Each structure stands twice: as structure tokens, then as C-alpha cells.
Amino acid sequence: MNKIFLEKGKIKQRINFSQEIIGFWVTAENISRHAKIGQFIHIKVADNTNLILRRPFSIADVKNQDLFFIFRVVGKGTLLMSKLSKNDELDILGPLGKPIEIPQEKNILILGGGLGIAPLYFLTKNLKKNRKNLFVILGAKNSKELILKEAFKKLKPEKLIFYTEDGTYGKKGKVPDSITLIFEEEKIDVVYTAGPIAMLKKVKLLLENKAIKVYGFLEERMACGVGLCYVCAVPKKDGGYFHLCEEGPCLSLKEIKL
Amino acid sequence: MNLTQKIKNITFQNPILLASGTYGFGLKFFKVINQTGGIVTKTITFNPLVGNPPPRIYEIEGGIINSVGLENPGAVYFLKRVLSNLKNLTTNLIVSIGGESGEEIIKVIKILDNQLISAYELNLSCPNIKAGGILLGQEPRMVEKILKEVKNNTKKPIIAKIPATLCNPLEIAKAVENGGGDFVTITNTIPGLVIDVEKQRPFLGGVIGGISGTFLKHYSLYLIAKIKKIIKIPIIGCGGIKNYRDVLEYLFCGAMLVEIGTLNLQNPFGVVKIIKDLKKWAKKNKLKDLKEIIGKIEI
């Protein structure tokens, strides 16, 4: 079992991507130093019996004793979090989930939609360090919601394509629009994807019959986050369930039912 | 200050147990488990169960509602692959057993009977398919019969975790005692529904869920105070414990031990603080033995 810490993290920097999308750089030494790609943190938002469960967030980046994550305000927990600012504390459990192992293969396609871009940044940065050829396609509703554009540019991937649904940045359209073309132009060995469920379904469908590895970051209602309760079930292709907090959140899309 | 109690030949180093379903099978967080009075495993059934489709949880005011559906790898897997890895446990291992009949529970016990196990806890909130789906623990005669059958098939102490609704819990607790049960756990989660208004259908994949958390504590305390008067076997209190004060409330009402569940889902280290705080309180109040406070408050 990987080491798990319960830590009070202090917000070092708050970044407002849009009114609803917020990023926090948090100082949480133990968690940050042990965090690996593909992992997540689990945050207790308040000491309030109406908010019993922690909220899971993918780790988007790590620098020494600090970690970065991005969230969208979707419910009462994230609404409370959106009111926090520099120097406020967060009760964090982590790092959780199964780390991603750097693949042996050379040519990697990264497909990110919306907030799914966050965990893919931490992954892409590490793949770059491992000298992989990276082909990255990212998309969101509009320019504001297309997070981490500049950060990805700095990684200098072999190819970087942006999409927005309203055409305010990059090409007008959605991430899956480019998949067929990129497979014609480039040799791809492994695909990592994260984004809305509709996008993952599309990616799975398009790549199902290709003899390559396809991994996706999944989401499911979660409770303990540490493999004790079996709440975060994701259906396996042949029956039974994966437990996302333990076996994921990044799973082979070919082994699950979406 | 010593919180140790010896009950029915089992030594509990403190009154805190980890409730079934909230701490896995005992394979993780050894250090935490070993500081408690014991762990009650997730419920084991004869055959493996895949559990309910997601979503399996919903947060409600004052608690949660879960619908995991007793997902477990079955008795044989548990014996071969789990029990063999639990040799480092220094505290009590209590195995929760479920099934749709007394016979099925006995089949599980016959597979498992192993010296690492301190006691069995029967999950009487499983539906009895043959009897039209009513819960095993819903009807006093059925409860007494199951307890008698189980007791005839093992020498280990038997704990019965009873349902708290759709039955008279007082009669059910009495039936556990009449059947020879050694402990009674009051109470399991209570059934509930969540409706997804947008999709116009039940929210939980398993449709019906079990409600747990803070609000359940007060009903459970009431039941324990009532049941304490009519049975002699030890009571294990369960429902909504989040700090040492909640534990004390249970002890005052007559529980000798408590199970902590929902809190573990928020914080796997949470019970450690409760045990520490309980010791502090006992020292401050110059308590020599937990007996001095157990059942002190009568209603």
C-alpha cells in the first residue's frame, strides 16, 4: 500500500480560470512529496455533519512541497471551497489512487476535455521528462474554460491542438473531431484521456478496435477514497466492478463498460 | 487509564470497534486497527457478490445513504486470500456474515471457523428470499431459530446486528437472547430512498440504500436504553458516532462496546483520536473501570 497522509494544507495561490473554475496551489508537504502521476487528493470541506464525505480532486501538478488542483463549482462542497483564499487551510487526505506507470512505448496521444485537462497536465509533464513523443489535443466550451493552455505550450509537445465549442480559442469543435486525422498522420502507441463522460464514450468507441492501449480517467461518487468501503464502483466489461479509488482513477477504457 | 473489558471471554482493549462495511476486510491500516477493540469485516456471504450498480452513495443532511449491496469475494476467497494475511492483527477480528437463511450463514461459518476469528457478527438485515424478501432480522421467531442453529454449529461468540425499523427492535433483541446470542448490536443502517428529480427515477443504482450518520445516533440511544431493561446479554451500540462524547452517550445508555462506521469513510484515522480522547476523559474523571458508567443513565 502506498503511504497515505492526512494533512492540513495551506492555500498558497488561488487562480480564477473563470467564475466557476478555480485552481489552488496548496502547501502540503507530505502529500506533495509522495504524489505520483494519476493520483488524487480527498478534501474534507468543512466540519459540518451535512458535508460528511470528502471530495476527490485530481492532482494537476506538484512542485516540491506544493500541489496544484483545479475544480469546478458544482455543489455545496465546491461552493464552500470557492470562497477560500490565500492562507486558508484545507483538510487533505492523500495521495490516493493507483499511480500511472510510465509506458515503455514512445508515441503517446493525450486527449483532454474540460477539467479533464488538469490530471493530464501532471501526466504529460512527466511523460515529457521521460522523452516520449507527445501529441496533445485539448478542448473546452470556450477560451476561459480551456485551462492550462500556456502551461501545455511550454511543455513543447510534438503536436498541440486546441478546440473550443464556440471557437473563441483554437479550432471550433470538439476533441474527438481530430482523432481520426491524427491516427492517419502519426504513429500512436498509447492514449490517455480525461474529460466529460460523453467524450470518453466517443474516444472509447473510436479506438475500441485499434491494437493500442487506451486509458481514461474516470469519475464516480466516492466515499472513503482508500479502498475500504467499495462505494466508487465502475462496471468491468465482463461483469463485476473496479473500485476507482484503489484501482483507478485511470483505468484501461477497453476493460470497462461506459 | 485502562479501558479494557473482558466480555464473554474476549478481551477488548477499549470499547471502540470498526463497523462492518466501513473498514474493508482488515488488510489495510493495520496500525489503526490494532489500536481499536476490534474490526468487524465487511459482510461475507457463501458465494461472492458483485454488489449494486453505481451510484452507491448519496450525502444527506446529517448522514449518508449507501447502497453497496454487500459486495464481497465470498467465504472461500476470504479464508484463503484474506484470513491468511491477517496474522499481524493484534486486536479482535470479528467476521460479519450474511446470507439469505440460517443454513447459508452456517455454511459460511463451517468454511471459516479459524482461530484468528474472535467472534462472528450476523448481519440480520439481509433479505430472506424464500420468505418473500423480508429481512432475516425482521421477525422474532425467525431470529431465535437462526441464532439457535448458528450456536449449535460454532463455539465462537455470536453477535447479532439487528435492523431497527420494519420490526419491533425490542422483540428482536429479546429473540437474539432467547436464541443464545452472546451480544446484540443496535443498530444497523435504516432503509431509505433518494429520488433523482431530473431523471425521474431512484438515484441509487441499487434503488434502496441504508441511512447512517449523526441523526441515527439518537434513535439508537433510545433503543439501547429501552432494550437494556429487557435483556442481559451485552449490547454494542452503533450509529452516528463522530467523537468521544458520542461514545460516552452510548456507554451511559447501556452499551458496553460501540461500533464506528460513517466516520471511517471521512477519515480512516478518525478512531485513533476518539480512543485518545476517551482515555483523557476517563483519566480526568478518575474512572477505574468502564463499568462505573455503563448503563448509568436509565429512562
For the segment B55-98, what is each residue's pLDDT rounded down to a tens digit? 999 999 999 999 999 999 999 999 999 999 998 899 999 999 99
- Amino acid at position B96, single letter: S
Q: Closest partner residue to B68 among A6, A220, A229, by Cβ?
A: A229
pLDDT in tens, B249-264: 999 999 999 999 999 9
Chain B residue numbers with beta carbons less than 8 Å from the beta carbon of A229 are: 21-22, 24, 66, 68, 264-265
Query: For residue B117, how many other CB atoms are within 10 A of its CB?
Result: 19
Residue-by-residue pLDDT tens, chain A, 258 positions: 689 999 999 999 999 999 999 999 999 999 999 999 999 999 999 988 789 999 999 999 999 999 999 999 999 999 999 999 999 999 999 999 999 999 999 999 999 999 999 999 999 999 999 999 999 999 999 999 999 999 999 999 999 999 999 999 999 999 999 999 999 999 999 999 999 999 999 999 999 999 999 999 999 999 999 999 999 999 999 999 999 999 999 999 999 998
* Cβ within 8 Å, pair A52-B23: no
Contact B148, B179 (CB under 8 A): yes
CA distance B173 to chain A (A): 27
Give the pLDDT score at B41. 98
Chain B residue numbers with beta carbons less than 8 Å from the beta carbon of A226 are: 28-29, 268
What is the distance between the terminal CA atoms of chain A, rounded to a whole angstrom?
Answer: 28
Contact A132, A100 (CB under 8 A): no
Assess A51–B contact: CB distance below 8 Å, yes or no: yes
b (16+ CB within 10 A) / e for B245-268: ebbbbbbbbbbbbbbbbbbbbbbb
SS (H, E, C) chain B: CCCCEEECCEEECCCEEECCCCCCCCCCCHHHHCCCCEEECCCECCCCECCCCCCCEEEECCEEEECCCCCECCHHHHHHHHHHHCCCCCCEEEEEECCCCHHHHHHHHHHHCCCCEEEEEEECCCEECCCCCEECCCCHHHHHHHHHHHHCCCCCCEEEECCCCCCCHHHHHHHHHHCCCCEEEECCCEEECCEECCCCEECCCCCCEEEECHHHHHHHHHHHHHHHCCCCCCEEEECCCCCHHHHHHHHHHCCCEEEECHHHHHCCCHHHHHHHHHHHHHHHCCCCCHHHCCCCCCC
Pairing of strands B57-60, A133-140: unpaired
Quote the CA–CA distance of A185 and A101 in Å, as a whole number. 26
CA distance A6 to chain B (A): 8
Chain A residue numbers with beta carbons less than 8 Å from the beta carbon of B56 are: 221, 230-233
pLDDT score of B129 more than 70: no
Number of H helices, E strands in chain A: 7, 16
Among B residues 157-216, those touching chain A with beta carbons less than 8 Å apart:
213-214
* Cβ within 8 Å, pair A226-B214: no
How is residue A9 written as a grid cell? Answer: 494544507
- Annotated catalytic residues of B are 126
- What secondary structure letter does DSSP report for A100? P
* Cβ within 8 Å, pair A241-B264: no
Quote the CA–CA distance of A22 and A28 in Å, as a whole number. 18
Quote the CA–CA distance of A60 and A123 in Å, as a whole number. 8
CA distance A8 to chain B (A): 13
Chain A residue numbers with beta carbons less than 8 Å from the beta carbon of B268 are: 4, 93, 224, 226, 228
Give the pLDDT score at B285. 95
- Percent of chain A that is helix, strand, coil (3-state, to 5): 25, 35, 40
Assess B133–A contact: CB distance below 8 Å, yes or no: no
Name the β-bridge partners of A163.
A139, A171
ipTM score of complex: 0.93
How is residue B154 written as a grid cell? Answer: 460454532
Q: Closest partner residue to A6 among B23, B57, B267, by Cβ?
A: B267
Q: Closest partner residue to B24 among A223, A227, A240, by Cβ?
A: A227
Quote the CA–CA distance of B42 and B19 in Å, as a whole number. 8
Dihedral (C-alpha) A21, A26, A31, A36: value to the nearest 10 degrees? 50
Total residue length of chain B = 299
A31 in helix, strand or coil? helix
- What secondary structure letter does DSSP report for A249? S
Quote the CA–CA distance of A95 and A26 in Å, as a whole number. 13
Q: At what angle do helices B140-151 and B169-178 cross, to 10 degrees?
A: 30
Q: Closest partner residue to A1 among B28, B52, B265, by Cβ?
A: B28
Give the pLDDT score at A143. 95
A107 in helix, strand or coil? strand
Chain B residue numbers with beta carbons less than 8 Å from the beta carbon of A244 are: none
Assess A80–B contact: CB distance below 8 Å, yes or no: no
CA distance A224 to chain B (A): 4
Assess A96–B contact: CB distance below 8 Å, yes or no: no
CA distances from A73 to A8, A23, A141, B91, B258 (A): 22, 11, 16, 43, 38
Quote the CA–CA distance of B281 and B287 in Å, as a whole number. 9
What sign does the CA torsion over B197, B199, B204, B207 have? positive
* Cβ within 8 Å, pair A235-B242: no
Quote the CA–CA distance of A71 and A55 in Å, as a whole number. 10
Q: Closest partner residue to A224 among B59, B213, B268, by Cβ?
A: B268
* Cβ within 8 Å, pair A241-B266: no
Under 8 Å CB-to-CB from B155, ≥6 apart: which residues? none
* Closest to A229 in 3D by CA, of B189, B225, B297, B79: B189
Q: Which of B56, B68, B189, B212 best tests the A interface by mutation, with the highest count of A CBs <10 A?
A: B56
How far is it between the farthest Cα atoms of chain A?
Answer: 54
Give the pLDDT score at B115. 85
CA distance B85 to chain A (A): 14
Chain A residue numbers with beta carbons less than 8 Å from the beta carbon of B66 are: 223, 229, 231
pLDDT in tens, B189-234: 999 999 999 999 999 999 999 999 988 999 999 999 999 999 999 9
* Closest to A59 in 3D by CA, of A135, A126, A156, A137: A126
* Cβ within 8 Å, pair B21-A229: yes
Give the pLDDT score at B164. 92
Contact A153, A176 (CB under 8 A): no
CA distance A129 to chain B (A): 33
Give the pLDDT score at B212. 94
My answer on whether omega of the bond before B127 falls inside 30° of 0, hence cis, is no
* Cβ within 8 Å, pair B265-A239: no
Chain A residue numbers with beta carbons less than 8 Å from the beta carbon of B22 are: 224, 228-229
b (16+ CB within 10 A) / e for B34-51: ebbbbbbbbbbbbebbeb
Name the β-bridge partners of A243.
A233
Chain A residue numbers with beta carbons less than 8 Å from the beta carbon of B267 are: 6, 44, 93
CA distance B187 to chain A (A): 19
pLDDT in tens, B15-35: 999 999 999 999 999 999 999
